[in-house]
Amino acid sequence: IGKHVVYEKSVSSTQEIAHRLAREKVAEGTIVVADEQVGGKGRLGRAWFSPIGTGIWMSMILKPKIPPQRAPQLTLLAAVAVIRGIHAATGLHCDIKWPNDILLKGKKLVGILTEMQADPDQIHSVIIGIGINVNQKNFPDEIKEIATSLSLEKGEDVNRALVMQSIMAEFEQLYELFLKDGFLPIKQMWEAHATTIGRRITARTVSGAIEGFAKGITEDGVLLLEDDFGTIHKIYSADIDF
Ligand code: BTN
């Protein structure tokens, strides 16, 4: 992972470039990283604020030989790698909010966006986009209350290259473990870092809000929510409130 790094100053989105490179059949583990994204993409069609020189905006191209249904497991793997990498590089402890937000003291530090190119029975490539707020000192009004950066917590600037290297090292280890032993060990690490699990939450889905107790995740990363009548709901996509 990260043996080939494609570095760009300013791009629309590193996801778009990674998709193009993947179609052109670059090596697995190739990473696209940019100093600035002018069209950064978030989950659910949202925009991702990616100002110049302050964050890590990167997309990783993977070509795992696993069934397409298992691709979401790689998002969870990436979350664990990011948390461990940030801890190794800065000493800061972050936690995971299902499905893939990484929070520092309750505010969003990292977003992960996984996309794939696949046929029904075969993955061509999985593109994992990771956006990390590193040295921002302030955020636009719309996200000021909910976003944070590593430097805001540390009180000093943080070396972006170091954080990125340390995340890549963790990712590589976990990815090897995943290919060898499957998802279970990763799932356990993920659950240990996830504040969502084991507490009362509200899941706001497109078809309405469900309140209940977050029991855990399935093999596919689906959230299991038990409501007050004891019914277990499988949550595929939602925003979570505590
Ligand atoms: C989220 O909504 O939480 C996911 C945000 C993902 C942002 C990253 S930044 C690098 C990559 N390129 C993009 O356009 N998006 C992802």
Calculate mean pLDDT across residues 121-130. Answer: 96
- Per-residue CA distances from 139 to 73, 109, 134 (Å): 31, 12, 12
Q: Could you read off the pLDDT of 144-160 as tens digits, one per residue?
A: 999 999 999 999 999 99
> Residue 3 pLDDT more than 90?
no
Calculate mean pLDDT across residues 64-68. Answer: 94
Contact in structure between 193 and 95 (CB atoms under 8 Å) = yes
* Protein residue whose Cα sits closest to atom 9 of ligand 1: 131
Say how many Å lie between the CA of residue 69 and the centre of ligand 1: 21
Of 135, 128, 159, 149, nearest in space to 33 by CA: 128
* Protein residue whose Cα sits closest to atom 7 of ligand 1: 131
Residue by residue, DSSP assigns the chain as: --SSEEEEEEES-HHHHHHHHHHTTPPTT-EEEEEEESS-B-GGG-B----TTTEEEEEEEE---S-GGGTHHHHHHHHHHHHHHHHHHH----EEETTTEEEETTEEEEEEEEEEEEETTEEEEEEEEEEEE-S-S---GGGTTTB--HHHHHSS---HHHHHHHHHHHHHHHHHHHHHH-SHHHHHHHHHHBTTTTSEEEEEETTEEEEEEEEEE-TT-PEEEE-TTS-EEEESS-EEE-
User: With a 6 A CB cut-off, is 204 part of the ligand 1 pocket?
Assistant: no
Say how many Å lie between the CA of residue 157 and the centre of ligand 1: 22
Of 194, 230, 227, nearest in space to 212 by CA: 227
User: With a 6 A CB cut-off, is 135 part of the ligand 1 pocket?
Assistant: no
Say how many Å lie between the CA of residue 84 and the centre of ligand 1: 19
Say how many Å lie between the CA of residue 57 and the centre of ligand 1: 7
Confidence at 162, pLDDT banded by 50, 70, 90: very high
User: With a 6 A CB cut-off, is 46 part of the ligand 1 pocket?
Assistant: yes
Residue for token digits 């979350």? 79
Handedness of CA 118, 121, 123, 127 (dihedral sign): positive
User: With a 6 A CB cut-off, is 14 part of the ligand 1 pocket?
Assistant: yes
The answer, yes or no, to whether the previous bond of 68 is cis (omega within 30 of 0) is no
Give the pLDDT of residue 109: 98
Class in CATH terms, 200-241: mainly beta
Strand partners, 32: 6, 59
Arch. (CATH architecture) of 5-193? 2-Layer Sandwich (3.30)
Q: Could you read off the pLDDT of 193-240 as tens digits, one per residue?
A: 998 899 999 999 999 999 999 999 998 889 999 999 999 999 988 989
Question: What average pLDDT is seen over the chain?
Answer: 95
Give the pLDDT of residue 211: 97
> Residue 168 pLDDT more than 90?
yes
- Per-residue CA distances from 145 to 105, 136, 140 (Å): 12, 14, 9
* Protein residue whose Cα sits closest to atom 15 of ligand 1: 41
Query: Pocket of ligand 1, candidates 17, 50, 61: which has the most ligand atoms within 8 Å of its Cβ, to mutate?
Result: 50
Give the pLDDT of residue 220: 81
> Residue 101 pLDDT more than 90?
yes
Calculate mean pLDDT across residues 135-141. Answer: 95
Give the pLDDT of residue 72: 87
Strand partners, 150: none
Calculate mean pLDDT across residues 2-26. Answer: 95
> Residue 99 pLDDT more than 90?
no
Say how many Å lie between the CA of residue 227 and the centre of ligand 1: 32
Domain ranges of the chain: 5-193, 200-241
